[in-house]
Structure 1
Amino acid sequence: MILLTAFLLMMITGHSTSEYVHSLRCTYESKKNVSDTRIWCKRDAQNKSCCTGFAFRPGVSTLEGGKINVKDDGKSFVVSMSTLTQGEGVYWCGLLDKDKKSIVKLSEGNFYPPLNFFWSILRWIIFILLVLMFISNYIYVNRKYGNEENTNEDIMMRAKE
């Protein structure tokens, strides 16, 4: 209980920021597609065959002014973002096939905003409840056991007399 309380106090009272990073791994055939243009986009809600996003060359590490990060290991590229620049929905990644002049979809994922606002309010409510719990526990223990200790001391003093 004490360990949990200490952890909660450190987490609640200390400066903390919560950042949820959305990531999507896009695996490709390393030798064949190593120089192909990469695609990152959000699927249109009404027209599921259409999407809006970016086309970028291998070696690019950031998009949209640093809001989107790309890491490529030669077998796959991972697109990560902490801010959903185009809002929540289905995002996908792929490669531009130069021969067929089409886009090959590699992976897709549902991205939704995190509950940062909810946590920012909830942590203060928990902090206030924790303080109230300590105060009420202190009062309860002093009333229950504080009076018994005095009574026992009085009995011991009278017995010695």
Structure 2
Amino acid sequence: MPDLSVVRARVGAMRPFISLVTLGTTDLPRARAFYEALGWRESSQSTDEVAFLQGAGTHLGLWSRAELAADSEVPDDHGGWGGTTLAHNVGSPAEVDAVLAEAAAADGTVLRAGSETFWGGYNGVFADPDGHRWEIAHNPAWPLDDAGRAQLPD
């Protein structure tokens, strides 16, 4: 892991990592149950209006889609896919299939079953109950550290 103080001095005030991804939901209790079924642990900072789920370095927020749109100053027009997918890397093709099965069992929708990729890996895609897309990938060129985080080559 690089010394982030050096990176910050080179780049500026923003450190190059994502702390929290907030997903807009139309049904907070359903979204909470879905992510808890996948192993995300809810923080004591959660309220009736927003859930914060602890991950290994990057955390998830679940909030009303309408409130999130207003906070981001964009219309909540349900205009379709917003050009974003989330990715979760695992250590093997079997783990890809296991995560996809867990998502399906928790009322997610598997959009693409695990399969070999053009880039030499193996991946599949599911959508959570609000339609947020997750790529589950095994990339043999990106080893996982002891915490299970993908390590990009230099």
Normalising by structure 1, what TM-score? Answer: 0.28
Which structure has the larger Rg over C-alpha atoms? 1
Higher helix share: 1
Which structure carries more relative contact order (alpha carbon 8 Å, separation 6+)? 1
